[in-house]
Amino acid sequence: MLRAFSHTNGRCALRHGKRWHHRKSVLAIRREDVNAWERRAPLAPKHVKELTQMGYKVLVQPSNRRAIHEKDYVKAGGIIQEDISEASLIVGVKRPPEDKLIPKKNYAFFSHTIKAQEANMPLLDEILRQEIRLFDYEKMVDHKGMRVVAFGKWAGVAGMINILHGLGLRFLALGHHTPFMHIGMAHNYRNSSQAVQAVRDAGYEISLGLMPKSVGPLTFVFTGTGNVSKGAQEMFNALPCEFVEPHELKEVSRSGDLRKVYGTVLSRHHHLIRKHDGLYDPADYDKHPELYTSRFNTDIAPYTTCLINGIYWEQHTPRLLSRQDAQKLLVPVRSATGAMEGCPELPHKLLAICDISADTGGSIEFMTECTTIDSPFCMYDADQHIIHDSVEGSGILMCSIDNLPAQLPIEATEYFGDMLFPYIEEMLLSEGSEPLENQNYSSVVRDAVIASNGSLTAKYEYIQKLRESREYAQSLKMGNKKRVLLLGSGYVSGPVLEYLTRDSNVDITVASVMKEQLEQLTKKYSNVTSVHMDVVKHEEKLSSLVKKHDLVISLLPYSAHPLVAKKCIDHKVNLVTASYLTPAMKELQESVEAAGITVISEMGLDPGLDHMLAMECIDKAKEVGATVISYTSFCGGLPAPEHSDNPLRYKFSWSPQGVLLNTVQSATYLKRGEIINIPAGGAVLDSVTPMDFFPGLNLEGFPNRDSTKYAEPYGIQTAHTLLRGTLRYKGYSKTMGGFVKLGLINPDPYPLLSSTTPPLTWKELMCKLVGVKPPAEYHVLKEAVFSKLEKDKSQLEAVEWLGLLGDEPVPAADSIVGALAKHMEMKLPFGTGERDMIVMRNEIGLRHPSGHLEDKFIDLVVYGDNNGYSAMAKTVGYPTAIAAKMVLDGEIDAKGMVIPLTKNVYGPILERVQAEGIVYSTHSVIKQ
């Protein structure tokens, strides 16, 4: 009798046997009232007619907005009636208002609650309170997990019509009239047949060669093979089109026929590859999508005019396009010879994206909000990372309407009703008040029951857990304003403050001895207050400050961190620093754990990003069974090459004293299985090695501290080589070696430089250091210094250049190295408009289970901004700030001493620093 019931003979017989017993069962089609554009219904008159012929009563709430006229429902046997309380099953498309719900009924609609969507949780609460049984169309799936009730095709049809209309507008804004100007928005057509005719008319003009030649061949890429993609392709077929394989796209985009348009359908195997071997295995991908990456950005997107995206994105799966991808794709192409002002070429190939999935932050990372039928288009400017409501200006035209089928409401209703109708009767034959376990539902229907009898069903109990998790996180953020104490206002504080003050719910107190910097910061940031104090000398005041805050960030020298940590332990306040986890800090481990707080160290550049980049590579290697056999990491903060114009080839963008002391530290490393120990006192400067991985930079490197201690935390005890070092321009080590010879890098207390003693000149201090009785003639002192430097002319030139033989006063300090640091800070600052540079190179040697060897190279190069943040400030400050925010938001909740060696810590930070311009690259060399 009914085509729709042919899918199970047994069920069909059961229904026929029951139907006269349930002659008075009532179905209601509710009025859609959530959106002005929502003109659909879940069932069309033809479905109502079949139901009434089966003996069911069908009520239809009146609505002048519904696209199908009431008289058609009346003609089919429906009853137009406001009161639908006698219905046992109430069906709609979108959610009803909470105050319109009727207790203990069966409801079917798209609830948008399965991800614990915050906006719809009040609705779910009311459904539970009123003991309503909720069927969600989105969860009606077959045994393969494929949805059996959806509007997908019509989303594709409407989306394709819209983006063709949008292309006409975009081309016009770029200086080109095209046939697409005669295509309107989907809702401007009475039905899809009219739209098809409009598209065909445009296609006819294209076939006559009426597209401007300077725009070149047009290419359309369809992602996915489901109903959404098929619907879009159905409309695309009304154009003079030719479908090609993805690998052919490059050729046709350059030399294709302008009298047609080209399309390609993209499946997973066309662009997904396993990271370690470049292959695609569908079964493996389903299990481990995180092991794969997409080559869409390099193999497909550069040859795409318009992307029609019909795929949803899930966590841990590769995205199609990121913000960085968009920046590269929008680089202007070089204009060909002969292009004229009135006939311009396109600024770039990728012009438009129609994201039919409307999946914000999904496979198209920069699609962060949906457009609407009222305002269907926007432009994404990748350089500025902003979206503006226009079809003009630079960027990619975006269309991401989340209710596309509402533009073709009659056909969408009939299509959806055909899919829903086979399941209507079994939903209708039960009362919402009856126990769910007593219902004889098919698996398709039973698995779509979100709530019943006042509770979430077993399959959807996770919704409550999702809610609790989110609400807890929000309570941390919104309950009271989070209070952060920032100690230090030097180079790194700028990015830290800039990042944290983006959240108006974070109040920051900055404590520092630098009064002028504090005043500048409080003027710049409204939610920053300042305290002028010497943290180390005023312990009681520090303790009082710590007590009033939820988190402390210490940007002080590493020697001050144990003091700060003890105050945090006393008051149970979390702490974040960028410095090494020193032995003095490690001694506090038990106290930190007992206090139940989090103390994060090594969260800057080196240490910090070096750990994270290493662990990301090491963890991925271990996932594929590889063994780490060597690890080498060199990092340096340098002036940009054009500003390295002094004997040290160096300028200061962070603690000068730390830079100087680094040259007299001891060092230990592992080389080909042998432990190498370098004593303190400057011997590391004799262990300098040329670094030629960037030959144009003329770099050298020397070992830094104890590299061997990272074998265990990195989990690379198998490595025969383990070395971490410092990068400088060639000549730095030799110059610094001269200062060591002269005793200038001496951290021991030197009372003669105290602020309470008469000031010394550099000439007088140098006389004392080289054993010349003052006052001495300049040439006498110079000769003595030259002799102390073992007749090294370049080292002597550096001493003279810095004025260390002259009459300038030595800055007051606790030690000679402290005085030299202050002097160098004045002599070697970055000038206005000068910029610094960060260079990091990690080299990781791997042995794969197959026996072949692989060298992984990870490069990080970051330049400072002219008159903005230095590269050092960015690469230390942003990771520190991100980690602090993660602690505030509960993303990092481990107690005790933490350094960024685990994926839950380094993963989010590495992702987020890229949005701040800290971008790294990797490449491999495979050896047999």
Q: How far, in Å, CA of 579 to CA of 600, rounded?
A: 9
List of E strands, 478-556: 482-487, 506-512, 528-532, 551-554
- 59-93 residues labelled b (16+ CB within 10 A) or e (exposed): bbbebeebbbebebbeebbbeeeeebeebbbbbbb
Cis geometry, peptide bond prior to residue 775 (ω within 30 degrees of 0) = yes
Q: How far, in Å, CA of 826 to CA of 728, rounded?
A: 20
Q: How far, in Å, CA of 473 to CA of 317, rounded?
A: 24
Q: Which amino acid does the sequence have at 423?
A: Y
Query: What does the CA dihedral 879, 882, 883, 887 come to, rounded to 10 degrees?
Result: 170
Neighbour tally for 166: CB within 10 Å:
25
Q: How far, in Å, CA of 792 to CA of 54, rounded?
A: 105
C-alpha count within 13 angstroms, C-beta hemisphere, residue 875: 31
Phi, psi of 484 (to 5 degrees): -120, 135
- Closest to 207 in 3D by CA, of 174, 167, 242, 177: 242
Q: Where are the alpha helices (DSSP H) in 219-347?
A: 227-236, 249-255, 268-271, 282-287, 323-329
C-alpha count within 13 angstroms, C-beta hemisphere, residue 644: 18
- Closest to 329 in 3D by CA, of 338, 320, 316: 320
Q: Which amino acid does the sequence have at 837?
A: M
DSSP 774: S
Catalytic residue, candidates 325, 355, 507, 606: 606
Q: How far, in Å, CA of 896 to CA of 597, rounded?
A: 6
The number of residues in the chain equals 928
Task: At 436, list the tokens.
Answer: 């769910």
How far CA 585 is from CA of 44, 566, 609, 662, in Å, comes to 71, 9, 20, 19
DSSP 775: S
Catalytic site includes residue 507: no
What residues have CB less than 8 Å from 30, skipping those under 6 apart? 61, 84, 90, 91, 92, 96, 100
- 104-120 residues labelled b (16+ CB within 10 A) or e (exposed): ebbbbbbbebbebeeeb
Q: How far, in Å, CA of 624 to CA of 634, rounded?
A: 26
- Closest to 574 in 3D by CA, of 584, 564, 583, 582: 564
Between strands 378-381 and 449-452, the pairing is unpaired
User: Residue 455 in contact with residue 127, Cβ under 8 Å?
Assistant: no
The secondary element (H helix, E strand) that includes residue 629 is strand 627-639
Neighbour tally for 378: CB within 10 Å:
21
Neighbour tally for 384: CB within 10 Å:
10
Task: At 457, list the tokens.
Answer: 């069903």
Cis geometry, peptide bond prior to residue 302 (ω within 30 degrees of 0) = no
Surface-to-core class of residue 788, CB atoms within 10 Å of its CB (0-12 exposed, 13-18 middle, 19+ buried)? buried
The secondary element (H helix, E strand) that includes residue 223 is strand 219-223
Please, what is the angle between helix 152-173 and helix 409-428, to 10°?
160
List residues with catalytic annotation. 606
